[in-house]
Amino acid sequence: MNCSQIEELFFSKRLDELTPAEKSIIEKHISLCQDCENIYQSFQKAESVLGKMKTHQPILDNEEFLVDSIMQKVNSKSSDQKYENEFYFFERLIRFVSRKSVQYALTSILFIVISLYMFEEYSAVKDITRLENHLNNTSQVIKAKAEIISFDNEILKFFYDAYKFAHGNSSYVKLSKDWLLVNKEDLRNLLLDYEKLDQPTKTKIKSLQSELLNQKDLIFSETEIGKMKTLQLEIEKLNSELQKIKSRRGK
């Protein structure tokens, strides 16, 4: 080590921080270098001054007063804290809510919530109306079809005869179920008139009856009955759906 390195060691480290190797290098160096020996002595003196300074601590007068004043503040903070714990949340909440930006945000959220609620209500009402209409329409159709099915063959035959007779048409006519339903009352009246007919006309009608029976299957086929059963099930499903929506709205 040269002189500047030795000097750097003196000034950068404390005596107790020097390693045995560093101490040995310093000792060897200063035994040969008078300048560094002088610096080392100064370094030792500085170390001694610092060591003595370290033992001096500032005098604290009125120590008890300081401790008391600390504890007084701590105790008051402690009771404040108790108060704070109870009211801190609400105080902060009020302070938070009273901010302009928060008020704007809350108003927007409220507006969105109300809009969503209204939209949902509107959609629900729309859905219910749609379902009710659908249900009514379907029910009417089913009811009508059921009525037609419930006609026994004899009555049906008379209806058909009466129809043919009224129209003076002996050719093949495809009987519409809807037509039958709509004109049911008229057909009944026609049936009553039939009783008043003369025998040849009645015979002519009888021949048409057999034709009607052949066409019956075309009108009320198994497929048609199957379709009606499916529609019945659909009605039940729609009804339960309607009930669910109604109860949800009620809640």
Partner 1 sequence: MQNQIHFEQLSELILKANKGDTKAFEVIVRNYHKFGYAVAFKILYNEEDAKDVVQESFIRIWKHLNEYDKKIKFTTWMYKIVVNLCFDKLKSQKRRRNIFKNLDEYSVINVPSGIDLEKELTNKELAAMIKHFASGLSVKQKTVFILRDMEDLSIEEVSEIMNISSGSVKTNLFYARQNIRKKIIKWENQL
> With respect to partner 1, which residue has the nearer C-beta, 9 or 148?
9
Residue 21 is which amino acid? A
> Does 63 help bind partner 1 (rule: CB under 8 A)?
yes
What's the closest the beta carbon of residue 33 comes to partner 1, in angstroms?
18
- Residue identified by tokens 């390693």 is 19
Q: Which of 78, 108, 137, 201 binds partner 1 (CB under 8 A)?
A: 78
Q: Which of 5, 24, 31, 75 binds partner 1 (CB under 8 A)?
A: 75
Pick the stretch among 46-54, 144-152, 185-193, 209-217 that binds partner 1 (CB under 8 A).
46-54
What's the closest the beta carbon of residue 29 comes to partner 1, in angstroms?
18
Pick the stretch among 24-32, 61-69, 127-135, 195-203 that binds partner 1 (CB under 8 A).
61-69
**What is the spatial distance between Cα 179 and Cα 187, in angstroms, rounded to a whole number?**
10
> Does 34 help bind partner 1 (rule: CB under 8 A)?
no
> Does 57 help bind partner 1 (rule: CB under 8 A)?
yes
> With respect to partner 1, which residue has the nearer C-beta, 74 or 97?
74
**What is the spatial distance between Cα 66 and Cα 46, in angstroms, rounded to a whole number?**
35
> Does 32 help bind partner 1 (rule: CB under 8 A)?
no
> Does 77 help bind partner 1 (rule: CB under 8 A)?
yes
> Does 239 help bind partner 1 (rule: CB under 8 A)?
no
**What is the spatial distance between Cα 202 and Cα 189, in angstroms, rounded to a whole number?**
16
> With respect to partner 1, which residue has the nearer C-beta, 41 or 230?
41
**What is the spatial distance between Cα 154 and Cα 160, in angstroms, rounded to a whole number?**
10
Q: What Cα–Cα distance (Å) separates residue 104 from each residue in 107, 110, 115, 146?
A: 5, 10, 16, 61
Q: Which of 5, 31, 46, 167 binds partner 1 (CB under 8 A)?
A: 46
> Does 42 help bind partner 1 (rule: CB under 8 A)?
yes
> Does 83 help bind partner 1 (rule: CB under 8 A)?
no
**What is the spatial distance between Cα 74 and Cα 87, in angstroms, rounded to a whole number?**
19
**What is the spatial distance between Cα 98 and Cα 106, in angstroms, rounded to a whole number?**
11
**CA torsion, points 122, 125, 131, 135, in degrees to nearest 10?**
-160
Alpha helices by DSSP H, 57-183: 63-97, 100-150, 153-167, 177-182
Cβ pair 128, 242 in contact under 8 A: yes
Residues interacting with partner 1, by CB under 8 A? 10-14, 42-43, 45-46, 49-50, 52-54, 56-61, 63, 66-67, 69-71, 73-75, 77-78, 81
